[in-house]
Structure 1
Amino acid sequence: MALIWAINHNKLPIISESPSTHACLSSFLYYFAIQYSLHKLYRVFIYPHYISPLRDIPGPRDNQFLIGQFKRIVTASSPSDLFLKWSARWPDEPFIRYLGPLNQEVLLVNTPEAHKEVLMTHYDSFRKPKLFRHLVEDITGPGSLLFAEGDASRRYRKILSQPFSVSKLSVVFSVFQEKAELLAEQLDKNLDENGEGVFDMAKLNTKMGLDVAGLTLLGLELKNLNSDDPKYDFSKDYKRIFQPSKFSSVVSFINSSIPIRKFLPIDTSYLHAIARVRGGVTDCVHNRMRDIDETEARGEKYSTAALPNGGRDLLTLIIDERQNFKGSSDELSIQEMVDQLVTFLPAGHETIAGAMTWASYILAMNPVVQTKLRSEIASLLSSLPPGTVPSWNDIDRLTYLNNFCKEIVRLYPTATLSYREAKKDITICGRFLPKGSALLFVWAVPSQSKATWGPDADQVVPERWETLSGKAANPYAWQSFSSGPRFCIGKNYALMEMKAFLVTIVSKFRFVKSKEIEALEGNHPPYINPALTLWPKGGMMIGLQRI
């Protein structure tokens, strides 16, 4: 457009302004526009239907003009609903092909074998596509582990995997317990004279998750649970970002291809929410770095012992690692530090809070499961000396609790989907995929397949984990945290926080159906769709009774 304007306004001084030159440039632009249009027509109307080597892969054919299956996907009952139906229709196909906007071909990765081939065996032959990067890069920034490839990915994982190991997390497990106890106090003081009450567990779990993330990731007491004026009120901003309206979701999708947010004043509340989150994290990093610099300027050694979490947080560990590489090319920049922390903050509270919210719902709906879980927890607590808080090692031995948590994240994965793109021509499970092929992972697909998990795949059965057999025993049949070298390094963090929450809350309260759940008449609560995380639409009202 700038070139056309320059030509029309005679603003190209480096080029002769003779009529012949002007005519040549005009002709070039004219034929270029024709060629570009023909290319687009070919890619949209001819290639996917008559030329593509992927066109014989099974998949839905009831495409809508120009948008393929896009409208059906974003208006389905949940972010994974349509994909689960396709998987049930073609259970043994490694890939299911469907068309997106402008008839773009997308392959849904379907079977455990296909997941293994892409995520493990040939993981280095795939990368995160630009489309996915553009969808979330406004939030995470360009230096996030989420998009790092090759040496950069290995470098980030080496630094970031340490604080998320079980040994490191067991030291900060007390933070999970303290915040769960604080949540229990908030619940208890709001019960009526009969010891009963109804609470929006989605809202409360989000606040608890933020407080835990604040301490374990930033070393900050955010006080979302016990204050109406927290230091950094991320909860509303994260809700705006990760639970968007349909309009905002459509704007984000368009913006991933055409940066309309840069030029049009639309959906500004989304951008303001991102700016506040990134600004808050940036303040935390700069304040910590300033404290370190001022301490060292006095000739003293900086100590993290006085920090709220004793310096056992991700920010401290990143700074320590940064100091080890100071002056070298491996030194993390301030921008990279912020990008990593902004990436882990939602993973450290948004996704986990969602899992704990669904756990609350499942317990209210399944009193038998709830009774078994409470019995196991009570047995542990009664075996300890009075006033003793169970350690991580104590809780980690609770078999039914462990199975219940796995079952929750099997049915309600902490994230809904991810994308990959073939870096070269490759054959996976006997299927040829040309370079540039777009692959979609919907984590519920392998984890809820009846072909893999049996006819009760959509039911809560914690006991299934005691004797996994057949296809369900395949490690790639459970993909709630992905697999391979790029697996979710926050897996242990998520499961440990869930267990701390359940041990504390289940031992003190009984979960029962609220009138809001009763009004659904046995139907599942509606989901927010589209969304990157799995959340109930309109909150999750759960009845609680003091034990």
Structure 2
Amino acid sequence: MALVPLLLAAILAVVAKYALKDTITSSATTVFVASFVSLYIAHKLYQLFVYPRYFSPLRHIPGPKDHHFLLGQAVNQFKANSPNEPYVSWVKKWPNEDFIRYLTFGNSEALLVTSLAAHREILQAKCYSFVKPPFFKRLITDIVGYGIVFSEGDDHKSQRKAFRGMFSLGNLKSFLPVFRSKGEELSGLFDRAIAKDDGIVELVEVYSRLTLDIIGIFGLGVDLDNLSNKHSVFHECYHEIFDPTPAGLVLTAINAFVPIRWLPVKPNRDFIRANGIIHSMLGDIIKQRVADVRTARGQPKPDKKASEEENSKDLLTFMVEEKYFAEDGDSWSEEDMLNQILNVVAGGHETTASSFVWATHVLSTYPDVERRLLAEIRQLLKRSPRPDYAEIEGLRYLNNFMRELLRVHCPAISAPREAGEDVVIRGVLIPKGTTVHTMPAAVQHNPSIWGPNTEVFDPDRWDNLSGEAADTYAFAAFSQGPRICIGRVFTMIEFKAIMVEIVSKFRFEKVGKGDIELINPSVLLRPRGGLKVKVIRRE
């Protein structure tokens, strides 16, 4: 059956040859067309039902057998109560395998990466043998753009190098005053909720506004004022995109495999409108910044000195100065910069916002964890009311709390890749075009790595890591290797600074007693319908 494509090509060549000579009879045409159609159908049936079950080199890898006859595991994934399922259940069934094989849309094969050794080869040693798959691009590039996240090979290396200075520890530490200021603004919002709404706060919206403001200052040099403005167009558009209706979720999932954004239905129209507004607003900011920098370049240069303002230059200004006006032939257009800004703004605020949502949920659920975290933070603030980076970084329990939070409640769901060539990983030949899923939850909830209490929230485990849990690749929240999240350090500093502010001033009580329902399908771990808590001022 491997000859089918060649036979199809041969038939087309023969048909073309005689058609050009105008010597083919109608009966011969019928024969040729019928042969072509028959072989085409046979080839598709082979791909759908024969190859994956009887001839694929991956067919012996363990995995689920309850596939839909045409959609594979897609139906089970959509019916699951979490976007991390059924993957985590598979890992617990086959905890010691390198891969778990399953079928998805059109019975195409996919591999879930489970062992740390396989992760290390895919994410480090053979990182650039894998590319972002087309379905994943269709799923999120409309939202996050085609910047560094979707660059490949040498292009990715070049972009990563270009951003090295902006994401250096020294530069990121200079944004600590921004985090502190926005944390204090968040405290004011909580105080107003206590005065007006009995302290009831919906966390998803509030934290999304907070992190959108912070990433706006870092990425654009603009305070978007989402925390103080209840009707921010920018936030409302992102809310429309990240929190669609159930019908919108279904359309988004289908669009990943079959492009349907063109369908004139309300969820598509809402998505296109909101996305268009965001692109337009960001585009206007970029145009204005280019004009401002062009004007500044024509002015006398100020005295060179390492001021805090220079050290904390925003990403857009950096790109305009270093890349838009680059004279080495490697300049970026306004469209290039828009894609990079989309990467940073979309990817850098919703994931962090989700982390704050789950952190607050944990604080309202585990009183002993909350008590110990408060005691450590109070000791620090007693010594240093406005702690610097080193003092915050020295909070051992806060550091453990953050890592455990990202292990148990990692906001990111999946980082799918596709083999760009035939590649051997752990002795397994992965054919070109095979989808390979690296999922934080598949690693961080694997009992063979983290032990039988993997579902227990226990910050103290980070003081006594042993075996594979002590391996760098066992912590997968930011991925690893050359494509590790470029905003990892920024996110950690931001998270700790905000937690110092709100834990020292407020405690949180759960509202309601039911289990949290998660949005599924989703690219983020998010509670459906938001998550409400009662905020109470500490004495």
Please give the TM-score of this superposition, normalised by the length of structure 2: 0.90
1:478-493, aligned counterparts within 5 Å? 478-493=475-490
* 140, 160, 164: which one aligns with 1:161: 164
In the TM superposition, what is the alpha-carbon distance from 1:248 to its structure 2 partner? 2.6
Q: Which amino acid aligns with 1:70?
A: A
> Which residue of structure 1 aligns with residue 12 of structure 2?
none
CA contact (8 A) 1:243 1:531 kept: no
Counterpart residue type for residue 178 of structure 1:
S
Please give the secondary structure, in 2, of the residue aligned with 1:162: coil
* Structure 1 residues 257 and 371: alpha-carbon distance in aligned structure 2, compared to 1, 3 A threshold: closer
TM-superposed deviation, 1:16: 7.6
- SS of the aligned residue for 2:86 comes to helix
Map of 1:149-228 to 2, 5 A cutoff?
Answer: 149-192=152-195, 197-228=199-230
Q: Secondary structure at 1:190's aligned position in 2?
A: helix
Match of 1:53 among 54, 57, 62: 57
SS of the residue corresponding to residue 62 of structure 1 reads coil
Partner amino acid, structure 2, of 1:506:
V
Tell me the CA shift for residue 440 of structure 1.
0.9
Task: Answer yes or no: is 1:465 the counterpart of 2:456.
Answer: no
DSSP 3-state at the match of 1:361: helix
Matched with 2:4 is none
1:434 matched to 2:431? The reply is yes
Alignment-mate amino acid for residue 87 of structure 1:
V
Residue 246 of structure 1, CA deviation: 4.1
Contact 1:513 / 1:543 at 8 angstroms: preserved in 2? Answer: yes
What is the rounded CA distance, in whole Å, between the counterparts of 2:27 and 2:251 in structure 1? 39
Q: Is the 8 A contact 2:293 2:321 kept in 1?
A: no
Aligned partners of 1:303 and 1:114: how far apart in 2? 52
Give RMSD over aligned pairs: 2.6
Tell whether the 8 Å contact from 2:207 to 2:357 is kept in structure 1 after alignment.
yes
User: 1:155 is aligned with what amino acid?
Assistant: S
Deviation of the 1:245 alpha carbon: 3.7
Counterparts of 1:355 and 1:52 in 2: how far apart (Å)? 40
Counterparts of 2:294 and 2:325 in 1: how far apart (Å)?
15
* Cα shift readout 1:38-68 (whole Å, capped 9, x = no counterpart): 2211100111111111111100001112111
Is residue 2:497 matched to residue 1:500?
Answer: yes
Preserved contact between residue 57 and residue 96 of structure 1 (Cα < 8 Å)? yes
Decide which moves more: 259-268 or 88-97. 259-268
**Inter-CA distance 22–253: structure 2 relative to 1 (3 Å threshold):** farther
Give the CA deviation at 1:493.
Answer: 1.3
- Aligned pairs for 1:27-46 within 5 A: 31-46=35-50
Map Cα deviations across residues 402-432 of structure 1 (whole Å, 9 max, x no partner). Answer: 1101111111223110111112222212222
User: Which residue identity does 2:348 align to in structure 1?
Assistant: G
Q: Give the secondary structure class of the aligned counterpart of 1:199.
A: strand
Q: Secondary structure at the match of 2:533?
A: strand
- Residues 323-374 of structure 1 show CA distances to partners (whole Å, capped at 9, x for unaligned) of 5623x43111211110010011122210000000100000000000000000
Is 122-131 or 336-345 further displaced after alignment? Answer: 122-131
Distance between the aligned counterparts of 1:257 and 1:449, measured in 2? 29
| Residue in 2 that maps onto 1:352 | 352
1:539 aligns with 530
In structure 1, what residue type is equivalent to 2:367? Answer: P
Question: How far apart are 1:165 and its partner, in Å?
Answer: 2.2
What code does the residue aligned with 2:370 have?
Q
Deviation at 1:203, TM superposition (A): 1.2
In structure 2, do the counterparts of structure 1 residues 72 and 300 end up closer, same or farther at CA, with 3 Å as the change threshold? same
Identity %: 35
Once the two structures are TM-superposed, the CA of residue 161 in structure 1 deviates from its matched residue by: 3.2
Among 109, 114, 127, the residue aligned to 2:113: 109
Structure 1 distance, partners of 2:245, 2:117, is 36
In structure 1, what residue type is equivalent to 2:368? V
- Counterpart amino acid of residue 461 in structure 2: R
Aligned pairs for 1:333-344 within 5 A: 333-344=333-344
Q: 1-side partners of 2:400 and 2:113: how far apart?
A: 26
Secondary structure of 1:531's partner?
Answer: coil
Cα distance in 2 for partners of 1:489, 1:83 equals 26
Does the 8 Å CA contact 2:422/2:431 hold for their aligned counterparts? yes
Distance across 2 between alignment mates of 1:320 and 1:21: 67
Q: Distance in 2 between matches of 1:472 and 1:22?
A: 70
Question: Do 1:296 and 1:302's aligned partners in 2 also have CA atoms closer than 8 Å?
Answer: no
* Residue 141 in structure 1 maps to residue 145 in structure 2: yes
The structure 2 residue matched to 1:131, chosen from 125, 135, 158, is 135
Cα distance change of structure 1 residues 152 and 512 upon mapping to structure 2, 3 Å threshold: same
Q: CA deviation at 1:443?
A: 1.3
In structure 2, C-alpha distance between the alignment counterparts of 1:202 and 1:302, rounded to whole Å? 43
- Tell me which amino acid in the other structure corresponds to 2:96: D
Task: Find the aligned partners of 1:538 and 1:222 in 2 and give their Cα distance.
Answer: 24
SS in 2 for 1:97: strand
Please say if residues 219 and 309 of structure 1, whose CA atoms lie closer than 8 Å, have aligned partners that are also in contact.
no
Listed as ranges, the matches of 1:498-537 within 5 Å are 498-514=495-511, 516=512, 518=513, 520=514, 523=515, 525-537=516-528
2:5 is matched with none
- Give the CA deviation at 1:192: 4.0
What is the number of residues matched between the two proteins?
A: 518
Do the aligned residues in 1 keep the contact of 2:144 with 2:347 (CA within 8 Å)?
no
* Structure 1 match to 2:9: none
Alpha-carbon distance between aligned partners in 2 of 1:265 and 1:496, rounded to the nearest angstrom? 42
Cα distance per residue 1:174-221 (max 9 Å; x no partner):
11111011000111122149x962211111111101111111110001
Give the whole-Å Cα distance in 1 for the aligned partners of 2:36 and 2:330: 44
Give the partner amino acid of 1:153.
Answer: H
Q: 2:122 aligns with which of 112, 118, 123?
A: 118
Equivalent residues in 2 for 1:221-300, closer than 5 Å: 221-230=223-232, 233-262=233-262, 264-265=264-265, 267-296=268-297, 299-300=299-300
Deviation (angstroms), 1:496: 1.2
Give the 3-state SS of the residue equivalent to 1:87 in structure 2. helix
Amino acid at match of 1:287: Q
Q: 1:413 aligns with which of 388, 410, 415?
A: 410
Closer, same or farther in 2 for the Cα pair 1:380/1:432, shift >3 Å?
same
Does structure 1 conserve the Cα–Cα contact (< 8 Å) formed by 2:98 and 2:113?
yes
Residue pair 2:70, 2:105 contacting (<8 A) in 1 also? yes
Alpha-carbon separation, structure 1, partners of 2:485 and 2:337? 18
Structure 2 CA distance, aligned partners of 1:325 and 1:172? 26
Q: Any gaps of 5 or more consecutive residues in structure 2? A: 1-18
SS at match of 1:364: helix
Offset from partner CA, 1:10-52 (integer Å, 9 cap, x none):
xxxxx98969598887776654443332221110011111111
Contact map agreement 1:244 1:531 (CA 8 A) in 2: no
Q: Quick check: 1:219–1:311 contact (8 Å CA) kept in 2?
A: no
> Residues 164 and 30 (structure 1 numbering): CA distance in 2 closer, same or farther, change over 3 Å?
farther
The change in CA–CA distance for 1:302 and 1:437 in structure 2 (over 3 A counts) is farther
CA distance in 2, matches of 1:417, 1:300: 49
Alignment correspondent of 2:8 = none
The letter for the 2-side match of 1:243 is D
Structure 1 counterpart of 2:93, which letter?
Answer: R
How far apart in 1 are the matches of 2:438 and 2:119?
A: 8
AA at the equivalent of 1:179: K
Contact kept, 8 Å, 1:421 with 1:439, in 2: the verdict is yes
**Is 1:313 equivalent to 2:296 in the alignment?**
no
Corresponding residue for 1:375? 375
User: In structure 2, what residue type is equivalent to 1:74?
Assistant: F
> Could you report, residue by residue, the CA deviation over 1:255-297 in whole angstroms, capped at 9, with x for unpaired residues?
3444332365562111112111111111111111122223445
How far 1:498 moved relative to its partner? 1.0
